[in-house]
Every structure is written in C-alpha cells, then in structure tokens.
C-alpha cells in the first residue's frame, strides 16, 4: 500500500524523505579580516609544505643550508607573490584593514608601477605576506630543529 499522497508509478510521485520546501543556506561573504587571514594562513601552510618538500629532496642539508638555499629557485617568493589578490575590489577590501593601510612600503607600486591606490595597497599586501612567509620559514625551521630533525647533519 502506498503512503497517503503518493501514487506509485505516476508523475505525481513524491519523495517523502525530503521536505516539500527546501530553505537554501545562504553563504556569507567573508569579512576583509577573514579573507586576509585565509590568505595569510594559506601562505604560512604553503611555506611549511615547501620546507617539507625541500627537505625530502635534500635530506643531507642542515638548517643553515636549507635556510640559505630554499628560495634559490623562488619557491618561497612564489608562494606569497601568488597569494596577492589581483582583483581591485579584493585588494581594496583588504586595504581597509589598519595593518594594510598603515603599512609603509619598501617597494614601489605593484603591477604596472602606477601610483594608484590599488597598486600601492597590493604592494602593502605583498610585503606583509613576504614578512609572514619569512617568519613562518624561521618558526618552522626552529620547530624542526627542536624536534631533532637536523641532528647529525
């Protein structure tokens, strides 16, 4: 016997396991702070992965050798360079954060070199991400050294 409201084998057949009206979950856009933190976290994790990969390929190198040569092929630089947003809206949103708009750049404006707000902010983002990447590099090497990963090298 079919459940009430279901006519088996007809075009009026209903699936009782799903609600009649589904309320879609609206995805909230991340705040500029959340978006930037996601980028920073990604850069930091990618640096850790790059170090792990480098150590697998160069198992005999000690900490000083790794620290001195890991970015010879641009692996670390590529991480933070590739993490800088390219869309003006994304750049300007992240640029609304105090640590970004108060950052004093050492480099000239990004992209085409024009002194536009988005190019200047992109440079700030780049420099902050470079600092984060280099900080993670040293922190992770410290962590590995404390775990004895460089003993005997």
Domain positions in the chain: 32-146
Q: Are 88 and 118 in contact (CB under 8 A)?
A: yes
Per-residue pLDDT, averaged over 27-32, amounts to: 92
At 73 the pLDDT is 84
Reported as a single tens digit per residue, the pLDDT across 93-111 is: 999 999 999 999 999 999 9
Q: Is the pTM of this model over 0.75?
A: yes
Q: Has domain 32-146 been given CATH number 3.30.1490?
A: no
At 25 the pLDDT is 76
Q: Are 105 and 136 in contact (CB under 8 A)?
A: no
Q: Are 45 and 8 in contact (CB under 8 A)?
A: no
Reported as a single tens digit per residue, the pLDDT across 106-148 is: 999 999 999 999 999 999 999 999 999 999 999 999 999 999 9
């Amino acid at each position: 016997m079919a459940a009430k409201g279901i006519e088996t084998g007809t075009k009026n057949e209903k699936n009782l396991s799903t609600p009649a009206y589904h309320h879609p979950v609206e995805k909230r856009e991340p705040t500029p702070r959340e978006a930037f933190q996601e980028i920073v976290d990604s850069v930091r994790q990618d640096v850790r992965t790059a170090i792990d990969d480098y150590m697998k390929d160069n198992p005999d190198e000690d900490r000083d050798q790794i620290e001195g040569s890991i970015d010879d092929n641009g692996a670390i630089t590529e991480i933070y360079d590739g993490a800088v947003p390219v869309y003006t809206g994304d750049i300007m949103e992240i640029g609304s954060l105090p640590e970004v708009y108060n950052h004093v750049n050492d480099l000239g404006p990004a992209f085409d070199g024009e002194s536009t707000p988005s190019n200047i902010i992109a440079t700030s983002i780049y420099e902050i991400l470079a600092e984060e990447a280099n900080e993670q590099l040293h922190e992770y090497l410290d962590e590995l050294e404390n775990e004895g990963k460089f003993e005997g090298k």
